[in-house]
Amino acid sequence: MSEPLMPSYNPGASAEPSILAPVRPKQVRWAVLLIIAAAVFQIIAAVLGIVHTGSAEFRSQLTSQLAQQNIPDSGQDIVGISIGVALATIIVISALAVIVYVIIALFINKGAGWARITAAVLAAVSLFSLAGLTMPAAIFVVLQLLSGIAAVVLCFIKPGSQYFTDRKNFRLANKVH
């Protein structure tokens, strides 16, 4: 006959976390919403940029710029090619920006410190987007920039900053070796 297995006592192993998970403050929720708003402003600015790039006014400006640069006529539609490149650039950069915004928002929501730092760096770099703005997309670029900066500020002041510290400590305390 086999003996019944007896439960063993192991004080080192516990299914309970050693510290409680921190509660996400409203401030971080607002930061996430502001980052999502920045993504929406990016989409609106991209649509307006696409409309502007396809306009007769843009074609005329591009034609005069190319004429000023004394670019020889090679038999190709340089203006058409330039417009196509500009449209592709707007679409690709905008799609990547929206994807980055969503990823950062998701990880800020989870309390990932790297997302907060990445958002701060991207907010600083995005200040360069203020150069060469054209209306009406400029309004949405400024709104996008302000939303991103406000979100970053909310993540770096208390209680947001404390939430990121608490999340880091929670992850470290519950890390399985």
> Higher confidence at residue 26 or residue 173?
26
Whole-angstrom distance, CA of residue 157 vs CA of residue 109 = 15
Q: What is the per-residue pLDDT for 33?
A: 93
Closest CA to 120 of 75, 77, 68, 156: 156
Residue that the structure tokens 């200040």 belong to: 127
Whole-angstrom distance, CA of residue 78 vs CA of residue 62 = 10
**Structural domain contains residue 97:** yes
The whole domain housing 106 covers 26-169
Q: Which region, left, alpha or beta, applies to residue 75 given φ > 0 means left and ψ of -120 to 50 means alpha?
A: left
Residue 122 scores a pLDDT above 70? yes
Q: With beta carbons less than 8 A apart as the criterion, state whether 144 and 45 touch.
A: yes
Rounded percentage of the chain residues whose pLDDT exceeds 90? 17
Dump pLDDT digits (tens) for 138-161. 788 888 888 989 998 888 888 888
**Structural domain contains residue 19:** no
Residue 16 scores a pLDDT above 60? no
**Structural domain contains residue 80:** yes
**Structural domain contains residue 73:** yes
16-35 average pLDDT score: 80
**Structural domain contains residue 21:** no
**Structural domain contains residue 85:** yes
Mean pLDDT of the chain: 81
**Structural domain contains residue 5:** no
**Structural domain contains residue 16:** no
What is the number of domains present in the chain?
1
